[in-house]
Structure 1
Amino acid sequence: MSLLHKMDREIYVLDGESFAWLLRKGRHEITIDHNTMGQTCGILPVGIDSARVKTQGLKWDFGDVSTSNHLVPENPVVSIETDRPVLWTCEIRPL
């Protein structure tokens, strides 16, 4: 994960159960594909002590990082604003 901080481009990490990518400082709009994305998602500080994060469109919108949150079926977009780089992760819906 530390390599994601060092790279000057978007890199997606994918395994059989989830995927993730680094959200740099600023505002991000993530289009949610409920056919492929599972319910559980998270915003994680990686390599930093803290971050201020504001979310809109998740089940629990609040101003902090969250290791476990949920996507809401009615919301096609999740907005995330962060003052430091954080890792966005989301489970993949089983086939």
Structure 2
Amino acid sequence: MEELGCPKVLANERLGHEDGSVSARYTHGTDTMRALLMDQLTEVWHKSLDDRLLLAPRSPAPILDRLLQQRAAERWHPVSRSHPDHTQMQRSQGRSP
């Protein structure tokens, strides 16, 4: 989370740590901060699955195999040019629209 620039107060909240400092007493994580962190962590998760797919498309571990197959279907499934996600999908694959 540190690499993502996550505020310390939010990292402590997510990890279940308590900070007894005076500043921590008056600083709180916001819904906007939590939503941004969730988006960032989701991107990291997708990248890790994409990297794993490059190593091998299948896994002997059933849960990982299922996750890999789902990610492969999401990533490689063609999207119609008229679909609103078309531009976003191309960007996520490193292509320009």
Give TM-score, length-normalised by structure 1.
0.23
Give TM-score, length-normalised by structure 2.
0.22
1 or 2, which has the higher helix percentage?
A: 2
1 or 2, which has the higher strand percentage?
A: 1
